């Protein structure tokens, strides 16, 4: 692992993983990973397909068993606590797929996002979320599986916002979105979450876009942290692309699709 010296202090972590390993069978998919995210900070995990990015997030939120290391939420250890407990303690998780309750209406999805709230705080919660995502306000009665890709992701994030979590964990929120929508989601909404004081940890395939919004980048390759640091420091490194290219599968920094879209 290769660390960059920090030029200015990062916030005290809201959520941090200390040397965690996790996987599906006997062989761990991620090994000895440490990562932290603090209030008002956006930390992006980038890396090639199959690097273990989603696995890392799932092990942080209690869906996947951590086999070694520990997960800390503030001062409390929450390693392998069940997902419902992490939700109660202020960790919001938006999976990459299966991120909404498809047969339920938009309103019901939000109500379920606010399941832990007392009943008199559900309606204010829905109002707050529809202020953040005005597009959802007109769709409350619609079945969630009838939404467009962008609306769906707004609902997925809105569902999590119902509990007003301290930590937001987003697994590739821009996957399946048009480049334009992806860009606005990252620049407007994700940035706004951090501005509101939330600790935002996200996995992002579009490395360039991630580097524009994140304050800290963690490059994951083959289940280990290859590199981490501030985006500018990383980009300045001679060997950055090489480290990425060494990963093999594709080169997310020079994603052709993304380049083409940014030119227009």
42 binds other proteins (CB under 8 A): no
Q: What is the DSSP string of 23-35?
A: -SSSS-SEEEEEE
DSSP H helical ranges for the chain = 53-60, 83-88, 106-113, 122-132, 134-137, 149-161, 179-184, 191-195, 207-213, 231-236, 240-245, 256-263
Restricting to residues 72-101, name those near other proteins by CB under 8 A. Answer: 82-84, 86-88, 93, 95, 98-101
Binding other proteins (rule: CB under 8 A), the pick from 29, 144, 147, 203 is: 144
Q: Of 82 and 197, which has the nearer Cβ to other proteins?
A: 82
User: Is position 18 an interface residue for other proteins (rule: CB under 8 A)?
Assistant: no
Q: What are the structure tokens assigned to 117, written together?
A: 């709230």
Q: How many residues bind other proteins (CB under 8 A)?
A: 32
- Comparing CA positions, the residue from 159, 59, 14 lying closest to residue 101 is 159
- Binders of other proteins among residues 145 to 174 (CB under 8 A) are 159-160, 163
Our finding on whether 256 is near other proteins (CB under 8 A) is no
Q: How far apart are the first and last CA of the chain?
A: 37
**How near is the Cβ of 125 to other proteins at its closest, in Å?**
12
Distance separating alpha carbons of residues 136 and 162, to the nearest angstrom: 13
Name the site residues for other proteins (rule: CB under 8 A).
61, 63, 82-84, 86-88, 93, 95, 98-105, 108, 111-113, 115-116, 119, 141-144, 159-160, 163
């Amino acid at each position: 692992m290769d660390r960059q010296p920090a030029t200015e202090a990062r916030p005290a972590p809201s959520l941090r993983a200390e040397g965690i390993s996790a996987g599906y069978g006997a062989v761990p998919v991620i090994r000895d990973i440490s990562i932290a995210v603090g209030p008002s900070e956006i930390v992006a995990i980038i890396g090639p397909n199959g690097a273990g990015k989603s696995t890392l997030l799932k092990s942080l939120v209690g869906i996947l068993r951590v086999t070694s290391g520990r997960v800390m939420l503030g001062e409390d250890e929450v390693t392998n606590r069940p997902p419902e407990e992490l939700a109660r303690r202020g960790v919001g998780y938006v999976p990459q797929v299966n991120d909404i309750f498809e047969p339920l209406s938009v309103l019901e999805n939000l109500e379920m996002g606010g399941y832990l709230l007392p009943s008199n705080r559900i309606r204010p919660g829905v109002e707050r979320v529809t202020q953040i995502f005005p597009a959802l306000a007109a769709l409350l009665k619609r079945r969630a599986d009838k939404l467009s890709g962008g609306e769906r992701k707004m609902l997925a994030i809105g569902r999590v916002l119902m509990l007003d979590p301290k930590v937001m964990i987003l697994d590739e929120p821009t996957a399946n979105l048009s480049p334009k929508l992806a860009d606005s989601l990252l620049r407007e909404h994700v940035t706004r979450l951090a501005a509101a004081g939330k600790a935002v940890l996200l996995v992002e395939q579009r490395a360039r876009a991630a580097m524009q919004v994140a304050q800290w980048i963690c490059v994951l390759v083959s289940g280990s942290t290859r590199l981490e640091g501030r985006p500018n420091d990383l980009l300045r490194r001679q060997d950055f692309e090489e480290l990425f290219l060494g990963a093999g599968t594709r080169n997310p920094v020079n994603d052709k699709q993304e380049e083409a879209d940014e030119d227009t």
